[in-house]
Amino acid sequence: MAFECNFDAFRHATWGGEDSLDYLVCVSEDLSQAQFAWSFATAPGGEVRIRLENAEPGAQGVHARYEADMVDPVTGKTVGGSYLIAQIDASTLKALPIAPGETDDVVLYHTLYVTQPGSPKRAECFGSLTIKQGAPD
């Protein structure tokens, strides 16, 4: 069942990536071979402004890193699991349309879809990405 997860980003900096704390943990799942489609829209069901798909670490997109020694936080047993790591480059965030002089945050609504080999597509999470204007670089 999909869960709600809300994120914050800053318009003048890359969101996510290998060194970020904005990642998802999937305990007991090896998602290293999965296909990802993460859409960010202007409203629920609205126009998609950003779409992330599978990408190598360090590039805009999504990838999974499987760790066989991940411990289940409930049982304390080693069960393995995956970190889902996304990245949206600063250039993509800066290119989002806003009215001249606008200082309000931009809110996009997201849904992450995951498709494992031989399994149907499922919604993993949904929510909002609030892009704070911050100070220009």
Task: Give pLDDT tens digits along the chain (137 positions).
Answer: 889 999 999 989 999 999 888 889 999 999 999 999 999 999 999 999 999 999 999 999 999 999 999 999 999 999 999 999 999 999 999 998 875 566 688 999 999 999 999 999 999 999 999 999 877 76
Cα within 13 Å of Cα(101), Cβ side: 0
Q: What is the pTM of this model?
A: 0.90
Residue 127 and residue 8: Cα distance in Å, rounded?
11
Q: Which two tokens stand for residue 104?
A: 């309000």
Q: Which domains does the chain have, with CATH numbers?
A: 3-132 (2.60.40)
Tokens of 13: 């900096």
